[in-house]
Structure 1
Amino acid sequence: MHKLTRHALLASVTVAALLTTGCSASSSPEADVAAAAAETPAATSTPDQLAVVQAPLGGAAPTAVATQDAAKAGRVARKSSLKVASYERKSGRAVITAKSVTPPAKGTATPTSASPSSPSSPSSPSSPSSTASPSTSASAPTAAPAAAVAVGDVIASAPAPGAPDGLLAEVTEVVGDAAGGGTEVVTKDAELSSVLGESKAEGDVPVDPSAIDVDPLIEGVKVSWAKTGDLTFGPEGARLPLGSLRIDVGAAIATAEGAPASAAASVHGFVQLAPEVAFSYDGSGSGTGSAPGGAFLGLTGDWASKWSLKGRAAGTTTTNGKPLRVPFAKLHADPVIQAGPIPIVVNLDLVCYFQVAADGKVTVDVEQDLKGDFRVGGTFSWSKGWTPVSESAMTGTPLDVDVAATGDVKASLGAEASIGLYGTVGVSADLAPYLRVAADASAGGSSDGTGSASGSWALYGGVDLSGALQLQLTIFGTPIFQQRIPLGELHKEWPLAKGKASATTPPATATGKTAA
């Protein structure tokens, strides 16, 4: 019995030692046990629902990395301290650096003082074990670190040196240590499905107007914007809604040949935008390597404009028979949104323009106040593939109307937009609210439809919306289509005001609305 108890005691000591060793290993800062355990809940039957929000402004560029095993298993990429130090798109070469970690002790001072000064240490300063301890402890921090990334890893990064549009790439080769530090790798383009896995994500993220670069293309362009905590007043004391960007323009346009000096043509007004990036992803079933179940990329937001057309515009057209278009401002932004820990770089370009189509016969003085919203983009589903989304709701009110002579004129104050991810264009759209005047005699009127006339005239408001989906939307990991898919022509028009041949006409419809 005594012998059995002794064996039991030895066994219990051995188990305790093993448990102690195991706890020590798991608590080592160099072990990744906790990270592996954190991934375990992701491999459940319920996909992760990721919030889509604006990435924090300022600070270091966010990065997420999906290991090869995680990507194959459909798990979401994890936030990483790795950074893209440099990138060359042509060769796909990049240098990846890891955030430096300061070791708990440097040199021999801390290990030497820690061991002998401990009152519970059984070793004396002169014992062999105490002299060996500092050497062993000092050599630990100098061990060769593991490579920052491995073949098959997928990196999603915000804009970085050499990658102003951000980077979504898979490591195909680890070259070795870079000359200036870090690890040099060779990459190829990757897809969102490799970092989003089987998760779901959806949200509309406002674009910070102060982060939009505006390049005036003609003289007379003024820019103003407002954002939370930094309100800027627009021209004429206008107070902008938060999140809005306003561009004012005033320019002379070609006047019809033979028109009197009093009929000089010009366009004046402003465009006010509050753009938002619309993004959604449904990765259901993507863990088997198939494409996601659904996706959407688009541009949405509020639109407001107040503008006027005066004079007798020339009937100038381009060589292809279309009206002459005059761009007056170019806008660009690379907002970074985050789906959970994953930075998604959106590339947004807008070109604001005015366009006048006239026959050179009619003289007008018309002004319109227009408000509404729009939504353009592409949506993917397994049953229909990629299909276009083209929606707009506008309400217009005429402020002044004066029409003389017989003729037609159509003037637009619109914007060409393109939106893509990581430097690839996915959706292009042309949103063109317009005013159109049709007159068959001299006439005059006002916004309530009253006035005198010797003929008849009519003023219309409208919106044209067109565009296309691009091949590059395959960045979501969806099947490839070989041609551009038109958004489909959206054309809506509504009456604003009209005049008849009587000396006094009853009030006319002065507002119109379109929705699609």
Structure 2
Amino acid sequence: MKRTTRLLLVPLLVAGVAAPLSALPAAADSGGRTPPALRVGDGPADKDAVSVVRPAGDGKVGQVPVGDARLTDYDAAGGHAVLTGGASHGLQGSPDRLRPGDVIASPATAATPQGALVKVTAVHPQAGGRVAVDTRPADLTDALGDGTVDLRVPLTAADLKAKPSSTGGRVSGGQAGGGGIRLDVDVPMPPGVKPTEGHSSALSGSLEIRPELLFSYERAHWYSVAPSKAEIGMGDDYAYDFKAHAEGSAAYDTGRKPLRIPAAEVDVNKTVWVGPVPIVLNAKIDYFYDVSADGKITVDAEQRTEGRLNIGARYDADHGWSALSGPEPVTRGTATRVTGTATAQAGIGAHAELGLYGSIGVTADAMPYLKATVRGSGGGGQPKDGKRAGQTGVDDTHGEWALYGGGRLTGSFFGKLSVLGVKVLDHSWDFPAVTYEHRLAGGSS
């Protein structure tokens, strides 16, 4: 199977090709100096406690001791927050303990489910161990200063917070060492479509993934006040099975119907600690399906797709922002039977959003599909000599037909991701739509 580094399509997350954002001009020559590596740790014992840091003019940041203080009241739109606790470590013990210019970083908590990253503009001490602050949004450069870090954070089933739903589908642990997750689904069919003889489902699929969140950052103040490199994304090794055993006699098009099944709508708010700073990576995934046909057709076909996913956005000071990408997936088809006079297509896709501290930076839509075209009848036999459909030796002597495995991916990059410290316009750029399609089987009489 031909591979490229241009795209990757799976029903999880995807981003397209380069976004036309201009790089910031480079500042002074770095002189070959490398910023220090930032330590990745487990964070404080109290996982709900905030971290407060104070940026310095030399590119360094210092931690402000606030003990176990928590963000108990947070109004992002109004620019107000309240810190409670931490009195034993002097949150209120000194007039300059907390002051304008300090950066407050909160992990994902009940009060800040997507985390928070703000800069203090005014301090208002209150009674009862509380301190109210006026705030404005901060950048990660304010919190991390000079340094470099490259994170690959594995996700488990416990990290994926599924929304309630009512019918169909199930989720379980993955087979690959038990570290991944598996989603199985029977796709709802439009009226007039039913399973072929001997099959209980007209259209079904399964997805096994071993996901990880991707984050990298590099800045040296002697080079630029903005990062020289940054990355936000998601990656995983995956296997996707798709089974179509359906017959119908009318034209139809479901058009991106949501899949209302357990674990089909997923939110992730994952906190990782870089030095004293909690970084909250957000992902939101909604699955959908699309089934269409333009006439009478019967399809018995299956496909399996395997690959490595790398999606999101990458920045460097020389080229600006571009999309992460991965190799094109490897797709295989099974023995096939196609009859009728029509073209039919079916797919299970996903809409995904990815960002930091609730500031979404990348959105993407991906839908792999199986397409059958027929004029007469095709297939109906098993592969000869043990070969798979699509290879020489398939019994395809019953008419003009073809089976394709393909996909379509679209995406957008939002200027909101300036939380990384790269200032861009309040604008979004659509990645050019990318499609691929490979013939899996077919022939003519």
- Per the normalisation by structure 2, the TM-score is 0.80
Give the counterpart of 1:296 among 216, 226, 231: 231
1:85 partnered with 2:85: no
User: Which structure dedicates a bigger proportion of its chain to strand?
Assistant: 2
Q: Is the 8 A contact 2:186 2:201 kept in 1?
A: no
- Mapping 1:90-129, distance limit 5 Å: 90-101=77-88
Q: Is the 8 A contact 1:461 1:494 kept in 2?
A: yes
Give the counterpart of 1:325 among 231, 244, 257: 257
- CA positional deviation for 1:241: 3.5
Change (3 A) 1:355 1:218: farther
Describe the SS at the equivalent of 2:88: coil
Q: Alpha-carbon deviations, 1:20-69, whole Å to 9, x = none?
A: xxxxxxxxxxxxxxxxxxxxxxxxx642212557x5698523533221xx
- CA positional deviation for 1:410: 1.7
Describe the SS at the equivalent of 1:49: coil
Q: Is the 8 A contact 1:77 1:341 kept in 2?
A: no
Distance 1:301 1:411 in 2: 24
Q: Is the 8 A contact 2:59 2:220 kept in 1?
A: no
Q: Is the 8 A contact 1:51 1:203 kept in 2?
A: no
Distance 1:398 1:304 in 2: 14
Describe the SS at the equivalent of 1:474: helix
- CA positional deviation for 1:492: 2.2
Give the counterpart of 1:174 among 109, 123, 126: 123
Change (3 A) 1:406 1:52: farther
Distance 2:286 2:251 in 1: 23
- Mapping 1:408-487, distance limit 5 Å: 408-443=343-378, 444-446=380-382, 448-449=388-389, 450-451=394-395, 453-487=397-431
- CA positional deviation for 1:251: 3.4
Give the counterpart of 1:274 among 185, 210, 229: 210
Describe the SS at the equivalent of 1:425: strand
Q: Is the 8 A contact 1:272 1:305 kept in 2?
A: yes
Distance 1:84 1:56 in 2: 16
Amino acid at match of 2:253: T
Equivalent in the alignment of 2:316:
381
Q: Which moved more, 1:263-272 or 1:304-313?
A: 263-272
Distance 2:397 2:148 in 1: 61
Distance 2:322 2:123 in 1: 39
Distance 1:56 1:442 in 2: 63
Distance 1:435 1:308 in 2: 9
Describe the SS at the equivalent of 1:210: helix
Change (3 A) 1:429 1:79: farther
Q: Is the 8 A contact 1:463 1:493 kept in 2?
A: yes
1:75 partnered with 2:60: yes
Distance 1:75 1:277 in 2: 26
Give the unaligned 5+ runs of structure 1: 1-44, 103-140, 227-238, 502-516
Distance 2:143 2:246 in 1: 57
Describe the SS at the equivalent of 2:187: strand
Distance 2:406 2:62 in 1: 46
- CA positional deviation for 1:348: 0.7
Q: Alpha-carbon deviations, 1:258-277, whole Å to 9, x = none?
A: x9996998321212222211
Distance 1:388 1:426 in 2: 11
1:253 partnered with 2:189: yes
Change (3 A) 1:261 1:244: closer
Q: Is the 8 A contact 2:292 2:344 kept in 1?
A: yes
Q: Greater CA radius of gyration, 1 or 2?
A: 1
Q: Alpha-carbon deviations, 1:311-334, whole Å to 9, x = none?
A: 23553337xxxx343324101110
Equivalent in the alignment of 1:403:
338
Distance 1:364 1:214 in 2: 33
Change (3 A) 1:79 1:186: closer
Distance 1:260 1:64 in 2: 57
Amino acid at match of 1:49: A
1:165 partnered with 2:114: yes
Distance 1:74 1:183 in 2: 28
Give the counterpart of 1:155 among 92, 104, 108: 104
Q: Is the 8 A contact 2:399 2:444 kept in 1?
A: yes
Aligned identity (percent) is 29
Describe the SS at the equivalent of 1:406: strand
Equivalent in the alignment of 2:18:
none
Amino acid at match of 1:213: K
Equivalent in the alignment of 2:150:
202
Give the counterpart of 2:37 among 43, 49, 63: 49
Distance 1:405 1:264 in 2: 21
- CA positional deviation for 1:197: 1.1
Distance 1:202 1:354 in 2: 35
User: Which structure dedicates a bigger proportion of its chain to helix?
Assistant: 1
Distance 1:50 1:72 in 2: 18
Q: Is the 8 A contact 1:51 1:340 kept in 2?
A: yes
- CA positional deviation for 1:208: 2.4
- CA positional deviation for 1:285: 2.5
Distance 1:46 1:428 in 2: 33
Describe the SS at the equivalent of 1:164: coil
Q: Which moved more, 1:342-351 or 1:259-268?
A: 259-268
Distance 2:187 2:405 in 1: 21
Distance 1:317 1:342 in 2: 49
Amino acid at match of 2:346: A
Change (3 A) 1:398 1:277: same
Change (3 A) 1:252 1:157: closer
Alignment size in residue pairs = 397
- CA positional deviation for 1:349: 0.6
Change (3 A) 1:432 1:241: farther
Give the unaligned 5+ runs of structure 2: 1-32
Equivalent in the alignment of 1:354:
289
Amino acid at match of 1:414: G
